[in-house]
Amino acid sequence: MATAFEFKIEAESGGARAGVLSTPHGAVKTPCFMPVGTRATVKTLSPRDLEEAGAGIILANAYHLYFRPGAEIIASAGGLHRFMSWDGPILTDSGGFQVFSLGDTAKIHNDGVSFRSLYDGSEHFFTPESATRLQEQLGADIIMCFDECVPAGAGRDYLVESVKRTADWAARCREAQSREDQLLMGIVQGGVDLELRRESADRTLELDFGGYAIGGLSVGEERPRTLEAMRFTAELLPWGRPRYFMGLGDPDGVLDAIAAGIDMFDCVLPTRTARNGRAYTSEGQLNLRNAAFAEADGPLEPGCGCYACSTFSRAYLRHLITQKEILGLHLLSLHNVTFLLDLVRRARAAIIAGRFAEFLSTDPAIPKGRK
The pLDDT assigned to 102 comes to 72
- The string of pLDDT tens digits covering residues 286-340 is 999 999 999 999 999 999 999 999 999 999 999 999 999 999 999 999 999 999 9
- Cβ-count burial 320-344 (b if 16+ within 10 Å, e if not): bbeeeeeebbbbbbbbbbbbbbbbb
User: Structurally, how many domains does the chain consist of?
Assistant: 1
User: Does 303 fall in a domain?
Assistant: no
d(CA 213, CA 187): 5
**Within-domain flag for 356:** no
Where are the strands (E) in 94-139, listed by range?
Answer: 107-108, 113-116, 123-126
Rounded to the nearest 5°, which phi and psi values hold at 23? Answer: -135, 170
Q: Shortest CA distance to 364 belongs to which of 306, 271, 302?
A: 302
On whether residue 150 sits in a domain, the answer given is yes
364: in domain: no
Residue 371: the pLDDT is: 53
**Structural domain span for residue 212:** 6-267
Provide the pLDDT for residue 370: 66
Residue 204 falls within a domain, yes or no?
A: yes
Residue 332 lies in a domain: no
**Known catalytic residues?**
93, 266
What per-residue string of b and e applies to 42-75 under the rule 16 or more CB within 10 Å gives b? bbbbebebbeebbbbbbbbbbbbbbbeeebeebe
Residue at 348 is within a domain: no
Kindly report, residue by residue over 122-177, the tens digit of the pLDDT. Answer: 999 999 999 999 999 999 999 999 999 887 788 899 899 999 999 999 999 999 99
Residue 127 covered by a domain: yes
Whether the CB-CB separation of 304 and 2 falls below 8 Å is answered with no
Residues of the chain with pLDDT under 50: none
Residue 369: what pLDDT? Answer: 63
pLDDT attached to residue 219 = 74
Whether the model clears a pTM of 0.75, i.e. scores above it, the answer is: yes
pLDDT of amino acid 9: 98
Determine the pLDDT at residue 2.
67
Domain CATH number, residue 225: 3.20.20.105
